[in-house]
Structure 1
Amino acid sequence: MERILREHAPDVEVVGLDDVAAYDEPVEDQPTFEGNALLKARAGAAATGLPSLADDSGLCVDALNGMPGVLSARWSGRPKDDTRNNTLLLEQLEDVPDERRTAHFACAVAFAHPDGTELVVHGRMDGRVIRATRGSGGFGYDVLFVADEHLADGLTSAELGPEEKDRISHRGRALREIAPLVARALA
């Protein structure tokens, strides 16, 4: 966000959770990515008195009726565990033919200002779930996901460099969309 926002508001200092006094983060109990992102952004603004940006994202698999969706991080239960989540997803898709393994990553990025101003944007990255994990970059389901932009070369999100992943990812798209809106709200 800092890199992207710098293009639109070079004088704005971006701080993270490690840069502010600790506060209890809210339980992500909303049924949508937007609801969870707003919940977190509002909590950040209330706890710090600073404008706050938060996101919620996950993998939505068509053959699983959009699941794991907002439950992506906890798909295999608590505590969060990427390896268990990926294993469970592969088991659930074991008998699904390759042409029906379509999915997308979804992201909602929310901005909350202490003055009550709120903004939300959405990003999406379409692709497919493959049959075995590949790659060491990224996190979560990146090792199982090949974006439509990389179907020809078969690279998973975990095999992409940071610049390419930022260019095509759901989160990168949402952050690029919200950055000029945040810059205007802070002007």
Structure 2
Amino acid sequence: MCEDLPYRPLSPYAASKATNEVYARLYTLAFGLPVVALRYFNVYGPRQRPDSPYAAVIPIFIRRLLDGQPPTVFGDGTQRRDFVFVGDVVRANLLAAERSAADGQALNICTGVEVSLLDLLAVLRDLVPNAPEPVFAPPRPGDIHRSVGDPSRAERLLGFRAQTPLREGLAQVMAWMRNTAKGERK
């Protein structure tokens, strides 16, 4: 998905994001404010809580696997996402703050790599010995089947490219969650 596709928000949340991008661009054009809109795709990393009402799939799957519980996959698991590690997202933010070439632009902060939920689970289960098989449930209403970004504009304007391989990032999240399971939550 490139940044130039027309907006088609399907929720009030998505509409608010689109509106913010329009305002950011207008403030850059009208007042010269150096504003950049960063579109984060599926950000993951240590310190994500699996028990939050807004919890993402990675911390939920990891917590379940570490607890010896089967993760629940809604749908058939072929849904595809673009998972980007939080450390890469931090670097993108710093680059956006430093580079005026991106002013007034919307930029995808993503890897450009499609990962199905089944492939994600395969990597996670490889990291957890004796991990249980997933259970499947009906798809949730409103879930998007494919969300994958095109990182080329962020690379061109910021010099940004995600660097953390999925397996490495997942191992970091898993290590953090293992520690929190031992009561080291801070």
Task: Calculate the TM-score normalised by the size of structure 1.
Answer: 0.28
Task: Calculate the TM-score normalised by the size of structure 2.
Answer: 0.28
The structure where strand makes up a greater share of residues is 1
Of structures 1 and 2, the one with the larger relative CO (CA 8 A, separation 6+) is 2
